[in-house]
Amino acid sequence: MNVYNSLTRRVEPLVPLADNTIRLYTCGPTVYNFAHIGNFRAYTFEDILRRVIQFNGMKIRQVMNLTDVDDKTIRGANAQGVALTDYTKTYKDAFFADLKKLNVQPAEVYPAATDHIPEMIALVEKLVAKGIAYKSDDGSVYFSVTKFPGYGKLAHIDFDNQRTGARCAADEYDKENVGDFALWKAWEESDGPVGWDSPWGRGRPGWHIECSAMSMKYLGETFDLHTGGIDNLFPHHENEIAQAEAATGKTFVNTWMHCAHLRVNGEKMSKSLGNFFTLRDLIEKGWSGREIRYVLINAHYRSGLNFAFTALEDARKALARVDACVDAVEKQAAGAAAGTAPDWARGALDAFTAAVNDDLNVPKAFAALFGLVREANSHAAALDAASAAAVLEVFRRMDTVLGVVFFGKAEKAEVPAEIQALLDQRAAARAAKNWAESDRLRDEIAAAGWLVKDSKAGQTVAKK
Ligand code: AMP
Ligand code: ZN
C-alpha cells in the first residue's frame, strides 16, 4: 500500500513500525456545533484510509480527539450560560450519530481534551524545563519557534528570514503571522467559569498542545501516521511536530496525509463563510447517509471536490444500479457456498486492489466496481450458484473498503418497522436523558426478540 506523505512530498509504502499495526492519529472535531459535510469529507477520507489498511491485512489503532475546550466552545457555552461539558455533550453525541449514518468505522479511542489537562500541563512543563517554552507577563506560556530548528519542515517553508520574535495568541493563523505560539493561555474574563490550575496560574491549554499530548499518550512518542484536512497542515500540524519533537528528541510521526477541501462554488465549505450543509440538512432534504458517503469518497482525497446536488442525484442512480445487480447475483447464488470466481470478477478485484493501494485512488476503485457490475449483468443469467456466490464475495471484499454496497440495504430490510419505531423512541428518550424510559423500551424491544446495545456511536440492534 502506497500513500502520499506530505512531509516528504513523495508517494511511499506505508509500513507499520511495530506489531503489524498502523498507529493513526486523526484530528477530530471541535464540538461547538454540528459538523458540516466538509468536515465529513475529512472523516470519510480517514475511514477509507483505515479500511484500506485493514484490506491489506494490517491492524489499525486510530485515535481521534474531541476538542471540547477552545475559544469557540467557551464562547458558545458562556453565551448560553451552561457548563462547558453540557454544551459540548450535545455536539459530541451528534457527531457520533452522524458518523454512524455515514458508515464510518469507529476509532479505537476518542479522547476528549478536557480529560487530558494534566498530560498537557506535563508536556508544557517539559518544554519550559528545556528552555524551549517561556512564560509571558500575562501568565500564558509560549513555544519559542527559534529554539526548534526543524520548524517549518512540514509546511516546507524556511521561516528563518521571517522570524520576528512576535507572538501569536490565536490558535489559528497563517504563514505570514508565524511567531511564538501559545501552549497555555492565561485565564481571561471572557473564559468565565472555564479554567484549570497550572504551575503558571489559572488558564487553559492551547489547541495545538492537545493533539501532541493525547497522540503520544495513546500511540507512543513515535507513531506511523497522522492525518487531517489540508487546513490543519499549517500551523496546527507544524506546531504538533515542534512540541512533540522538542520535548522527546525523537521523530514524532513518520507519515502525514492531508485531504483537500470540500468546496461550494469554488470556496472552502466552512462555518465562518456560512456556505455549509450539515449532514442533518441533507438528510432532511431526503438524501441518505449512504448517498452522501458515496459523494464524499468518490473523488481522490487530494483533489478538491465541489459540492453539488447533482452529485447526490448521480449517487442515487449509481447505487440503484449496484443494488439491482447485487440483488440479481444474490438470487442466482441462492445461498450456495462460493466456488471459484470467474476471471472477469478476479480481474475486477485486482484492478480494485491496485487502485486503493495507489494512494487511495477511490474513483478508480469505483470504476473497478462498476466494471464488475457490467460484467455481472451480462453474465448473471449464465452463472451457476457457486460462481454467483463467488462474485458476491468480490462485491463484499470491495465493500470492506467502500462501505456503500451493502450499507443501508441489509439493515433496513432486516429490522422490522415496529422495532425501528421503538428504537427511534428510545433514541429520543436517551437524548432527553430519560433513562427510565430508555430502559423500559430496551425491555420492550428485548421481549420482541431483539437485543439493543449502546455505544458511543449510538444504539445498535441484533436479533437475539
Ligand atoms: P474543525 O472542526 O474545523 O477543526 O475541522 C475538523 C476537520 O475537518 C479537520 O480535519 C479539518 O481540516 C476538516 N475540514 C474542515 N473544513 C473542511 C472542508 N471544507 N473540506 C474538507 N475538510 C475540512
Ligand atoms: Zn489536531
- List pLDDT tens digits, range 348-390: 999 999 999 999 999 999 999 999 999 999 997 789 999 999 9
pLDDT at 164 over 70: no
Give the Å distance between the CA of 270 and the centre of ligand 2: 17
* pLDDT of the residue at 415: 76
Are 83 and 37 a contacting pair, CB within 8 Å? no
Residue 407 CA to ligand 1 centre (angstroms): 25
User: Higher model confidence: residue 177 or residue 251?
Assistant: 251
Scanning 249-361, the segments in alpha helix (DSSP H) are: 279-284, 289-297, 309-333, 343-357
For residue 357, count other CB atoms closer than 10 A to its CB.
18
Residue 30 CA, closest ligand 1 atom number: 2
Asked if residue 427 lies in contact with residue 458, where contact means CB atoms within 8 angstroms, the answer is yes
**Ligand 2 ion: nearby residues, β-carbon < 5 Å:** 27, 211
Q: How does residue 1 score in pLDDT terms, banded at 50, 70 and 90?
A: very high
Q: Tell me which of 196-200, 265-269, 303-307, 364-368 is least confident.
A: 265-269
Q: Per residue in 421-444, pLDDT tens? A: 899 899 889 988 999 999 999 999
Measured from the Cβ of residue 104, the count of other Cβ atoms closer than 10 Å reads 22
Least confident of 163-167, 230-234, 344-348, 382-386: 163-167
Q: Does the beta carbon of 211 lie inside 6 Å of ligand 1?
A: no
Q: How far apart are CA 1 and CA 209, in angstroms?
A: 31
Q: Residue 366's pLDDT is what?
A: 98
Atom of ligand 1 nearest to the CA of 261: 20
pLDDT of residue 409: 66
* Of residues 193 and 164, more confidently modeled: 193
End-to-end CA distance of the chain: 39
Q: Find where cell 472535531 sits.
A: 29
Nearest residue (by CA) to ligand 1, atom 21, is 261
Q: How sure is the predictor about 172, in pLDDT bands with cuts at 50, 70 and 90?
A: confident
Task: With a cut of 60, say whether residue 254 has pLDDT above it.
Answer: yes
Q: At what angle do helices 385-402 and 362-379 cross, to 10 degrees?
A: 160
Q: Hey, what amino acid is at 192?
A: G
Encoded amino acid at 317, one letter: K
Crossing angle of the two packed helices 207-219 and 117-129, in degrees rounded to 10: 100
| Three-state DSSP state, 75 | helix
Residue nearest to atom 14 of ligand 1 (CA): 39
Q: Give the angle subtended at the CA of 188 by the CAs of 141 and 120, to the nearest 5°.
A: 40
For residue 414, what pLDDT is reported? 65
What pLDDT is attached to residue 272? 86
Pick the ligand that lies closest to the CA of residue 70.
Answer: 1
Task: Please say whether the beta carbons of 441 and 429 come within 8 A.
Answer: yes
* Whether the predicted pLDDT of 60 surpasses 90: yes
Residue 171 has pLDDT above 80, yes or no: yes
Nearest CA residue ID for atom 6, ligand 1: 29
Tens-digit pLDDT profile for residues 283-296: 999 999 999 999 99
Identify which ligand lies nearest to the alpha carbon of 253. 2
User: Residue 413 — very low, low, confident or very high, per pLDDT cuts 50/70/90?
Assistant: low
- pLDDT score, position 69: 94
Ligand 1 atom nearest to CA at 42: 22
